[in-house]
Structure 1
């Protein structure tokens, strides 16, 4: 998934979480945490892959094992600074990134390309492209199969971006005030 798709998925999930949990749209600080959290795995892994540290662009930052350590660290810092809501936004966004990076074929029973989730315990290339480990229910196959086509998947990303932008607008465009304050030189934002 492309960066804009990751951000869209993360914002949609966090906004729905905030509305369910707090009965209100997201606050600005958590929205910025969603922005960072939705990109964090790639911001960590892609430069390290480019520098030759890792064999692919989905290694450390994309691992569920690393995510466990990261979540503990993020909440530890959040408790010290009284920013638990913002930490939750980051965690939701980071985990949504990992979920959104799963290839659609995974939901059809083909684990090829999902090894990053258990890196370094499971190395890349462990599963063969045609190796199916389970047979999905017919309904799942019917819904998921169209998205195995790259063009259809890309179209889905743009639909998700449109939905996320619409929801962000309905939510009152949280986070935009940071940009406006930055233009005036007043970068102190509301706490969350």
Structure 2
């Protein structure tokens, strides 16, 4: 999955969580934490594999469920001290959503070997037949087939929903932006 696909899936999952649990829309700092969670596995693995050859491939350390579990336990402990539970939940939804987003296509195709990254290092690193190089090399090799169109469609839906929600999180990263749309009241 591409970065925009991960962000879209994360926002849609988090929106569903907020609506089903609290009947509220996403807001502020947790949306920024969500965005970070949706991208962190690739920000760890891609440079360390593609640029520095420290990791075996672009889906290993940061894409491992074992690493994710350890990271989320530590993050929850920090959130307890900072009273930042909602941000920790949002980050976790984004991070785990990223991992399952990457596993979705091979799982649906029945190529379970390519889902093995979830068990790294207990499961050996996958041998990918991909072009070498950095992000731009991979971007220019993008196949605009049905999967890419599906991800772009998800992205359009997620961006439309984010806009409808008042662009939550933007006020955290853009000084002076006011995202003070009144929050819905929870159901009684």
TM over 0.5: yes
The answer on 1:74 being equivalent to 2:62 is: no
Q: How many Å separate the matches in 1 of 2:90 and 2:17?
A: 9
Query: Which structure 2 residue ranges, 5 or more long, are not aligned?
Result: 128-142, 178-188
The answer on 1:7 being equivalent to 2:7 is: yes
Query: Could you say which residue in structure 2 is the equivalent of 1:62?
Result: 63
Query: Could you say which residue in structure 2 is the equivalent of 1:18?
Result: 18
The CA RMSD measured in Å over matched residues stands at 2.1
Q: Is contact 1:113-1:124 (8 Å) kept?
A: no
Query: Which structure 1 residue ranges, 5 or more long, are not aligned?
Result: 127-148, 184-192
Alignment of 1:139-154 (within 5 A): 151-154=145-148
Instruction: Render the CA deviation track for 1:23-43: whole Å, top value 9, x for unaligned.
Output: 110111110011100001011
Query: Could you say which residue in structure 1 is the equivalent of 2:122?
Result: 121
- Could you tell which deviates more after superposition, 109-118 or 72-81? 109-118
CA offset at residue 98 of structure 1? 0.2
Specify which structure has the bigger relative contact order, considering alpha-carbon pairs within 8 angstroms and separated by 6 or more residues.
2
CA offset at residue 60 of structure 1? 0.7
CA offset at residue 103 of structure 1? 4.9
CA offset at residue 182 of structure 1? 6.2
Query: Could you say which residue in structure 1 is the equivalent of 2:41?
Result: 41
The size of the alignment, in residue pairs, is 163
Q: Is contact 1:38-1:97 (8 Å) kept?
A: yes
Q: How many Å separate the matches in 2 of 1:79 and 1:56?
A: 34
The answer on 1:32 being equivalent to 2:32 is: yes
